[in-house]
Amino acid sequence: MSTPQTEKHPVRWHIAVFLAPAVIVYTTIMILPLFGTLQLSFFRQIDREAVFVGLDNFRTLLLDPRWSASFWNALGNNMWFFVVHMLVQNPIGILLAAILSSPRLRLAAFYRTAIFIPTILSFVIVGFGWKLILSPIWGVAPSLLDAVGLKVLFAPWLGKEEYALTTLSLISVWQFVGIPMMLIYAALLTIPDEIIEAAECDGITGMSQFWKVKLPLILPSIGIISVLTFVANFNAFDLIYSAQGALAGPNFATDILGTFLYRTFFGFQLQIGDPNMGSTIASIMFLIILAGVCFYLFVIQRRLRRYQF
Amino acid sequence: MTAKHMKTLLLSATLLSSASMAHAEDVTLTVESWRNDDLSIWQDTIIPAFEAKHPGIKVKFTPSAPAEYNAVLNSKLEAGSAGDLITCRPFDASLALYDKGYLASLADLEGIKNFSDVAKSAWITDDGANPFCVPMASVIHGFIYNKAAFESLGIAVPQTEDEFFAALDKIKEDGNYIPMAMGTNDQWEAATMGYQNIGPNYWKGEEGRKALIAGTQKLTDDQWVAPYRTLAKWKDYLGDGFEAQTYPDSQNLFTLGRAAVYPAGSWEISGFNTQADFEMGAFIPPVKAAGDPCYISDHTDIAIGMNAKTSHPDETRTFLNWVASPEFATLYANALPGFFPLSSEPVTLEDPLAQEFISWRQKCEPTIRSTYQILSRGTPNLENETWNASANVIRGTESPEDAAKRLQDGLASWYEPQK
């Protein structure tokens, strides 16, 4: 073009135009509600008037004996929920991915699809389905165990305080194991054949090849999966609600932050909802998730070594 | 040209819509309700019966979904577009509407005299001076049993607690039936069909309930702990794995004939009648010793009141008086067996099981669920805590004394008279 380059850059409208839809939509449906929630948590209804109370709601939640008992119970349960996912879901996901990526496995596409299908099922279907499977009255679990003579092992797992949460965590693991499997599978496929061949030339094969060559290469993916699991678990609500109801029985043994928030915010049965305390719980959940993600971003991710091929 | 067209259209639209009101001089009353299940009953039975007797008044039943009703009604009332007649939820939800001036006081309504104090208790100001809704129906608690099972085992209908547990023992020993169909998975049955079902016999119905509200009795007093001790004994008679048994599971166990006794509320009647193919009977919550006075939970559930801003107050009152009459009570009770009219006037019911339930009103003192009036206004919520405590006691994970103490501490933390 013959026009000389001017000193000033022209205003680059197209950037704003292209960003606008995402910014507008994200702001209205995510950022504004987030700040609305934070704002609500600093107020309290006194005689039908919203009164600014500073951090008083947080003090109530964390220090009042009744509120704090429910809160720590929910947080503790949530931690266990997360621990089960980290210890069961992710290792199994990695294992499945490793098996699937083995070139000698036949019907790999079928297994991949079959294992991934529960992930796309609705929580309600999963909750009710498993509730029926495990039902002591009509369920297939007791009759199956009976058929192999192990009926003594059966217990009404969803109704016992000591097992209910673990049972639900494992159901959730069953549902979502497809996600780590897919991500790791994709990561394993990106490892170039040259590296594997080089390893073979050096005499590293079989299991030690997985531990010494492949695992270090997929560590960044495992990190991402851990963060996704963390966020999903601390936001979880649906499965507990559809299987155990809002009271998260038995005796609040399956109460996690999500169900605790729901009961408080919207109320339950004769309990009238308390949006202010509900928002306080939501804000704490936000802070917990924020802290977890920051820990990952600033502590873990920096130390992960990445390899360029 | 187009403007003229528009005018004609608007005019004809107005004419058409007013034409649907039939006669110009007729007054149309609109009923707000959450009972969309009852739409056909209102349209086919109740409204024609009323309109036949009261020419010049038309009634329109416009229900909304139960879960949305409170919110929808509130916004309609605020906007001034709510119907003339408002179906009332029991206790605090309706009391709040009265306090805000949306519901009119019915203290001077002729028909309100047809109702006992217990019947009115859910829709009256705390001082008892102003009733604001005409009670329509209540549900009664008791036990429904499988007659065939009782006959084959030679068990008589139990009157006392000892007979009750002896009967359960016998059923258990025989092994053909699960003695009692109830689970603790959903928790509310343990409180509603357990604690509130058998409890009134211990705390002497209204006497205990009112004393609790007044603060002269505590939940740790013996009459409030004793029902928990009895509940704790139920554990051995519930089916295998009752901890994970849900409410529909229990209903199915009973209607399939696999369980002999079902701790019930009368709302089950119509469902059970269609599901079960054996004859059912019902008995009162057993008393301690033969001849003791009996108390039943006759829980007020639904009522109807007047929008304070209605433009047809006289016609609305006419309708409310009719709702208070035996004619309405009979129509409603027979259309919905298990929802019993609250009027003190005698009512004829056709369903035998419903007849059995309602006959208890002659023998026993009625009361309502102890946790519903006033006591569930604060946090922690006594009703919700009672669910949890009752389920814990039945599962045997909390002792009756500990449960009662926890409830008392919770109530005392916010309710002045109990401090």
Predicted confidence band of residue A7 (pLDDT cuts 50, 70, 90): low
CB nearest to A250's CB, from B243, B376, B384: B243
**Which of A60, A68, A146, A270 would best serve as a mutation to test chain B binding (most B beta carbons within 10 A)?**
A270
Average pLDDT over residues B373-385: 88
* CB within 8 Å: A66 and B186: no
Q: What is the pLDDT of residue B3?
A: 54
Q: Judge whether residue B88 has pLDDT over 80.
A: yes
Q: How far is B185 from chain A (nearest CA, A)?
A: 6
Inter-axis angle of helices A215-234 and A90-100, to 10 degrees? 140
- Which residue in B415, B147, B197 sits closest to B298, CA to CA? B197
Q: Enumerate the β-bridge partners of residue B58.
A: B28
DSSP three-state, residue B54: coil
Q: Enumerate the β-bridge partners of residue B365.
A: B295
- For chain B positions 159-188, those within 8 Å of chain A (CB to CB) are 183-188
R_g over Cα of chain A = 25
- Interatomic CA distance for residues A17 and A37, integer angstroms: 29
Q: What is the pLDDT of residue B326?
A: 87
Q: Judge whether residue A6 has pLDDT over 80.
A: no
Predicted confidence band of residue B7 (pLDDT cuts 50, 70, 90): low
Average pLDDT over residues B42-65: 91
Average pLDDT over residues B255-270: 92
> Does residue B253 belong to the interface with chain A, where contact is any CB pair within 8 Å?
yes
DSSP B289: S
Q: How far is A28 from chain B (nearest CA, A)?
A: 24
Half-sphere exposure of B281 (CA within 13 A, CB side): 13
* CB within 8 Å: B383 and A134: no
**Residues of chain B contacting residue A271, judged by C-beta atoms under 8 Å apart:** 376, 379, 381, 383-384
Q: Judge whether residue B419 has pLDDT over 90.
A: no
Q: What is the pLDDT of residue B8?
A: 54
Average pLDDT over residues B167-171: 95
CB nearest to B244's CB, from A157, A268, A270: A157
Q: How far is B245 from chain A (nearest CA, A)?
A: 7
Q: Judge whether residue B211 has pLDDT over 80.
A: yes
- Interatomic CA distance for residues B123 and B108, integer angstroms: 15
CA distance readout (Å), B409 to A65, A199, B86, B196, B379: 12, 68, 37, 20, 11
Q: How far is A246 from chain B (nearest CA, A)?
A: 10
Q: How far is B5 from chain A (nearest CA, A)?
A: 41
Q: Judge whether residue A19 has pLDDT over 50.
A: yes
Q: Is the peptide bond before A250 cis (omega within 30 degrees of 0)?
A: yes
Predicted confidence band of residue A134 (pLDDT cuts 50, 70, 90): very high
Q: Judge whether residue B17 has pLDDT over 70.
A: no
CA distance readout (Å), A202 to A140, A180, A309: 51, 30, 19
pLDDT digits (tens, 9 = 90+) for A198-219: 999 999 888 898 888 999 899 9
* CB within 8 Å: A271 and B387: no
Q: Which two tokens stand for residue A82?
A: 């997360």
Task: Kindly report which listed range (A5-9, B45-49, B144-148) carries the lowest average pLDDT score.
Answer: A5-9
> Does residue A265 belong to the interface with chain B, where contact is any CB pair within 8 Å?
no
Average pLDDT over residues B287-304: 92
Q: Count A/B contacts: CB-CB distance under 8 Å.
A: 97
- Interatomic CA distance for residues B240 and A169, integer angstroms: 24
**Which of B238, B252, B384, B392 would best serve as a mutation to test chain A binding (most A beta carbons within 10 A)?**
B384
Q: Judge whether residue A114 has pLDDT over 50.
A: yes
Nearest Cα residue in chain B from A136: B241
Calculate ∠ Cα B327-B331-B333, nearest 5°: 115
Mean pLDDT computed over every residue of chain B: 89
- Interatomic CA distance for residues B22 and A16, integer angstroms: 60
- For chain A positions 223-242, those within 8 Å of chain B (CB to CB) are none
Q: What is the pLDDT of residue B34?
A: 86
Q: Which two tokens stand for residue B160?
A: 């006392």
Average pLDDT over residues A98-126: 90
- Interatomic CA distance for residues A163 and A134, integer angstroms: 12
Q: Judge whether residue B19 has pLDDT over 50.
A: no
- Interatomic CA distance for residues A187 and A100, integer angstroms: 12
Q: What is the pLDDT of residue B6?
A: 54
pLDDT digits (tens, 9 = 90+) for B103-130: 999 999 999 988 888 888 889 998 888 9
CB nearest to B249's CB, from A135, A245, A274: A135
Q: What is the pLDDT of residue B22?
A: 45
Mean pLDDT computed over every residue of chain A: 90
> Does residue A129 belong to the interface with chain B, where contact is any CB pair within 8 Å?
no
Q: What is this structure's pTM?
A: 0.83
Q: Burial level of A307, CB count in 10 A (0-12/13-18/19+)? A: exposed
**What percent of chain B lies above the pLDDT cut of 70?**
94
> Does residue B376 belong to the interface with chain A, where contact is any CB pair within 8 Å?
yes
ipTM of the complex: 0.82
CB nearest to B244's CB, from A66, A136, A252: A136
CB nearest to B384's CB, from A66, A157, A270: A270
* CB within 8 Å: A251 and B398: yes
- For chain A positions 37-96, those within 8 Å of chain B (CB to CB) are 66
**Which of B256, B379, B392, B413 would best serve as a mutation to test chain A binding (most A beta carbons within 10 A)?**
B379
**Residues of chain B contacting residue A157, judged by C-beta atoms under 8 Å apart:** 244
Which uninterrupted H or E stretch holds A299?
Answer: none
Label the pairing between strands A43-46 and A49-52: antiparallel
Nearest Cα residue in chain A from B185: A159
* CB within 8 Å: A271 and B379: yes
> Does residue A161 belong to the interface with chain B, where contact is any CB pair within 8 Å?
yes
Q: Is the peptide bond before B380 cis (omega within 30 degrees of 0)?
A: yes
DSSP three-state, residue B1: coil
* CB within 8 Å: A250 and B242: no
pLDDT digits (tens, 9 = 90+) for B316-357: 999 999 999 888 988 888 888 888 988 777 778 889 999 999
Q: Judge whether residue A105 has pLDDT over 50.
A: yes
Predicted confidence band of residue A285 (pLDDT cuts 50, 70, 90): very high
Q: Judge whether residue A257 has pLDDT over 90.
A: yes
* CB within 8 Å: A156 and B410: no
Q: Which two tokens stand for residue A295?
A: 């820990």
* CB within 8 Å: A158 and B242: no
The identity of residue B259, as a single letter, is A
Task: Kindly report which listed range (A63-67, A261-265, B37-41, B179-183) carries the lowest average pLDDT score.
Answer: B37-41
Predicted confidence band of residue A119 (pLDDT cuts 50, 70, 90): very high
**Residues of chain A contacting residue B244, judged by C-beta atoms under 8 Å apart:** 134-136, 156-160
Task: Kindly report which listed range (A15-19, A133-137, B30-34, B375-379) carries the lowest average pLDDT score.
Answer: B375-379
- Interatomic CA distance for residues A137 and A143, integer angstroms: 10
CB nearest to B244's CB, from A158, A251, A268: A158
> Does residue A146 belong to the interface with chain B, where contact is any CB pair within 8 Å?
no
Q: What is the pLDDT of residue A55?
A: 92
